[in-house]
Amino acid sequence: MSFEGEKKYEDYQDRRLDLIAGFLPENPVIFEAGGHDGSDTFLFYVRWPASKIITFEPHPVSFQKLLEKTAWISRVEAHNLAVNTINGQTVLQISLLNDGASSILTPVKETEELYQGPKIVVPCVVLDDWCQENQIEAIDFMWLDLEGLELQILRSSPQILSTVKVIYTETNLRLSRMGMTRYQELKAFLEKSGFKLIAHWYQENLQGDAMFVRI
């Protein structure tokens, strides 16, 4: 499936944070869902040294790597949590492909050999509730790498979503997990919520990344 007119800003392929920075203050509040090993978290700090960075990573091994990479950065708050539509605990399906592809969602039959590894129970939170409890009144920039749970998470936290200026999110163009967010549904929801698609980098019939800005 090809999306006509969406391959904008192809020259920013390797400079995406520069494109995002044009829509943010110099000291943004950044929320990263799916911090993995901290590689992107560190790049956020380099690009916005005056920022406040909140990063969630539920996978215990990846979280330790994230801590090792960012523990010295006082502006990074790392939490061993999954963002979800409920508060409490959830089952994380560990991916055999790579740690970063682990998900709360169950793989479909066609992809279970790649994605269905061990299952572990991890703590999870609703973002609106967590922000209220931790006195986070606004988030400028959301970076979402949730392996198909993006739409559910955004719908479950309308209060904090209303404060967001930029969303950078993984997009899925084929079904690999049950109940996963399809790109067109996500795009329609964000446009209805006051965002405009700025760029979409993707592999046809696979997945990609999209950038949305509040208009």
The fold of the 28-85+124-214 domain, in CATH, is Rossmann fold (3.40.50)
Distance between start and end Cα atoms, the chain: 27
pLDDT lower than 50: segments of the chain: 1-2, 4-5
Give the pLDDT score at 13.
Answer: 66
Half-sphere exposure of 16 (CA within 13 A, CB side): 20
Those residues with Cβ within 8 angstroms of residue 35's Cβ, 6 or more apart along the chain or in another chain: 41, 55, 56, 57, 62, 63, 66, 78
Give the pLDDT score at 172.
Answer: 87
